[in-house]
Amino acid sequence: MKKWSDNVMWRWLLSFFRPGKGPRINLGRRNVLTAGALGVGAACLCRVHPQASGRVFNPALIRPPGAVDEQEFLSRCIRCGECMKVCPTNAIQPAGLEAGIKGMWTPVLNMNVGYCEFDCTLCGQVCPTDAIRELPLEEKQKIKIGQSFVDKNRCLPYASARPCIVCEEHCPTPTKAIWVEEIEVTNASGQKVLVQQPHVDPELCVGCGICQNKCPIKDQSGIYVTSVGETRNSENQMLL
């Protein structure tokens, strides 16, 4: 008759407590300590970067809406690329060194390639670790991921007395964050013409970047977004 203690499941469970024979994973204590030390050492070394403590901010480090604060973001993000795949405008790109080397291949928005679609929350829906939190649409539309600035040296109505307003046309906020001032300027032929010069209201702008993306000055936009003012970061601010 078979004893219950001969049962293989029971003996198997016991074998966890009795260090038996059989192959072991022999890593070598020195190797393990070295591996651990390298991990800890790398972590310490990465603190050297001025961006590591929130002392300096990179204007190109524009994170998707719903992203948590930067230090936590870098801890949570597994660089899987789900957000990069789902972004409908292809705005989310792998970072280079914008977040330091430790942030390489984390998601950043490049407004020359795409823009943050105002009615979209897909990146937050797909992130497996909630580095980008899933937000209801109304909440997402109040989140600022950056601030747009008009480059008066390039913007056509300022720099060359040519009419435009494409940026104002595309601005998606319920009350447009871009307002135009109709102003009489002199053009190249010496004629007086009326142009509409765009201005940005920083309290309304959410940094979506469609203005930068649609601006006809293709190589370097007449209006562009930088990270300042991002809701998730209480330090990277400019307004009172």
Binder to other proteins among 60, 67, 84, 225 (CB under 8 A)? 84
Mask: binding to other proteins, 140-159, rule CB under 8 A, as x and -? ----------------x---
CB nearer to other proteins: pick between 11 and 152: 11
Specify the stretch interacting with other proteins by CB under 8 A; choose among 54-62, 87-95, 141-149, 226-234.
87-95
Residue 166 found at the interface with other proteins (CB under 8 A) = yes
What is the biggest distance separating any 2 CA atoms in the chain, rounded to whole angstroms? 111
CB nearer to other proteins: pick between 110 and 233: 110
Binder to other proteins among 130, 149, 202, 237 (CB under 8 A)? 130
Element (H, E) at 87: none
- Alpha-carbon distance values, 105 to 63, 98, 190, 205 (Å): 12, 10, 51, 27
216 by DSSP, 3-state: which?
Answer: coil
CB-based contact 221:200 (threshold 8 Å): no
CB of 37 to other proteins, least distance (A): 8
Q: Which of 163, 168, 176 is nearest to 150 (CA)?
A: 168
Backbone CA torsion sign across 72, 76, 78, 81: negative
CB of 53 to other proteins, least distance (A): 11
Specify the stretch interacting with other proteins by CB under 8 A; choose among 59-67, 142-150, 163-171, 228-236.
163-171
Residue 92, C-beta contacts closer than 8 angstroms, at least 6 positions apart: 64, 83, 84, 107, 108, 109, 114, 123
Residue 54 found at the interface with other proteins (CB under 8 A) = no
Map the footprint of other proteins across residues 199-238, applying CB under 8 A. Answer: 214-216, 218
Binder to other proteins among 62, 82, 177, 207 (CB under 8 A)? 82
Specify the stretch interacting with other proteins by CB under 8 A; choose among 66-74, 185-193, 199-207, 228-236.
66-74
Specify the stretch interacting with other proteins by CB under 8 A; choose among 55-63, 109-117, 146-154, 223-231.
109-117
CB of 148 to other proteins, least distance (A): 16
Backbone CA torsion sign across 57, 63, 68, 71: negative
The 10 Å Cβ neighbour count of residue 112 is 17
Binder to other proteins among 51, 54, 69, 74 (CB under 8 A)? 74
Round the CA-based radius of gyration of the chain to a whole number and report it: 27
